[in-house]
Amino acid sequence: MNFNCGESEARKRAAAVRALGLDVDGVLSDGRLYFTSGGEEVKAFHALDGHGLKMLMQSGLQVAIITSRASPILKRRCDDLGITHLYQGVEDKLEALKDFLALAGIEAGQFGFVGDDLMDLPVLQAAGLACSVPGGHEDVRSRVHIVTSAPGGRGAVREITDFLLRCQQAYDQFLPP
């Protein structure tokens, strides 16, 4: 994990987070778009990321997905994980963020977001904790607080969820006795 703002500042910001928002392509998936010969979209999600999101929700944090693409596969993944705040096919991600913050009853400073491309910048700049992935656009990576070591779709989200849980003293409850 690389800290653009310094590790202690990132930990302080992470301790204040009450909800985590995620982009999908390049963050929850590897960013590649797969289509079958019949035109169906196929996505691969990492089990570690999913379990990390479940642990976050079990510890009381909310999770929101904010993505510009719409996909029935993503709806299924969110249903499987119990994520109810799904904003897909969104052109203005900042408006989706404002809607989510109002529903969640939190301020932008209590919101963390993981994004990888230019359309994510308005949300990343509004978030209290802004994160990206190694494969993210360089203008995004240079403007966030944290860049994960793991790539998008291959454990990056789990890296962030574990970091949040540790900074909030909530990680150890998930360790076996």
CATH number of 2-103+110-170: 3.40.50.1000
Kindly list the domain boundaries of the chain, sorted by start residue. Answer: 2-103+110-170
Confidence of residue 31 (pLDDT cuts 50, 70, 90): confident
Q: What angle do CA 88, 161, 15 make, to 5 degrees?
A: 110
pTM over cut 0.85: yes
- The model's pLDDT over 40-58, given as tens digits with 9 standing for 90+, comes to 888 889 999 999 999 999 9
Q: Which contiguous run of DSSP H or E holds residue 28?
A: none
Give the distance, in angstroms, between the CA of residue 44 and the centroid of all CA atoms in the same chain. 16
* Mean pLDDT over each residue of the chain, to the nearest integer: 96
Contacts 24+ apart (CB under 8 A), 41-46: 41/71, 41/73, 42/73, 43/71, 43/73, 43/74, 43/77, 44/153, 45/77, 45/153, 46/153, 46/154, 46/155, 46/157, 46/158
| pLDDT tens-digit series, residues 102-147 | 999 999 999 999 999 999 999 999 999 999 999 999 999 999 999 9
